[in-house]
Amino acid sequence: MPRPNPLLRFFRHYEGPRIHKWIHYFEIYHRHFARFRDEPVTILEFGVNQGGSLRMWEHYFHDDSKIVGVDIDERCRQFEGGNVSIEIGDQEDRTFLRSLVEKHGPFDVVIEDGGHQMGQQIATFEEIYPAMSEEGCFLIEDLHTSYWPGYQGGLLREGTFIEYAKRLSDQLHAWHSKQDDFVVDTFTETTRSMHFYDSVVVFERGTVTKPVARKRGTDYFDVRDGQGRTQPGQPGQPGQPG
């Protein structure tokens, strides 16, 4: 049987400052953050609110980890102490975001649970993600606001973080482009994967080089390409293993 999720177990027995989370988030957190638990790491969380999630991260990650909470509400300073630092500022302010990187970075884990406005989310990703550690993990949650008019959202509406993330999923595949205006960029070379969940997108960083295909074994028959031409089997062609 799978071992219990320590984050969900913590939440179910927790009685401190408020934590407010969708329950399905806990599995996502543990799936992507478990690999960071054995060594000290630097965690950045946007959206301190009542301070409860900071306590959860303190419990979950290594005792010597550094946790930075960001909020626009000055009252959140009361949650600073021990290995927790609090920074007050507007996450749509790119100068402020760069100051976080300079003062506390690079970050290994980022949880974006801030103001949920589209400009805030995109600015935060564009300024923080490139400055993360090489194997870092950026998780942005509550993306249902991309569909809510009150947050400048709506289905297929340009400018939402969901539409922004969809375009980034294309960029993962830029190695295979045949178009002059669709080329490999820094995101392509530093992102191993993107994971889409209900209201959450997770970006996992890493050094990525141009994919290489190889063959082993013997072809027993030729295949035809999309234009009906006969050619030796190629990875990814019908009838052949990729």
Question: Which residues participate in catalysis according to the annotation?
Answer: 116
**DSSP code for 231:** E
Contact 213, 193 (CB under 8 A): no
Q: Which amino acid is at 181?
A: D
Contact 145, 122 (CB under 8 A): no
For 58, the 3-state DSSP assignment is helix
Query: Cβ neighbours of residue 101 under 8 Å, at least 6 residues apart?
Result: 107, 127, 128, 131
As a whole number of angstroms, the distance between CA 11 and CA 35 comes to 20
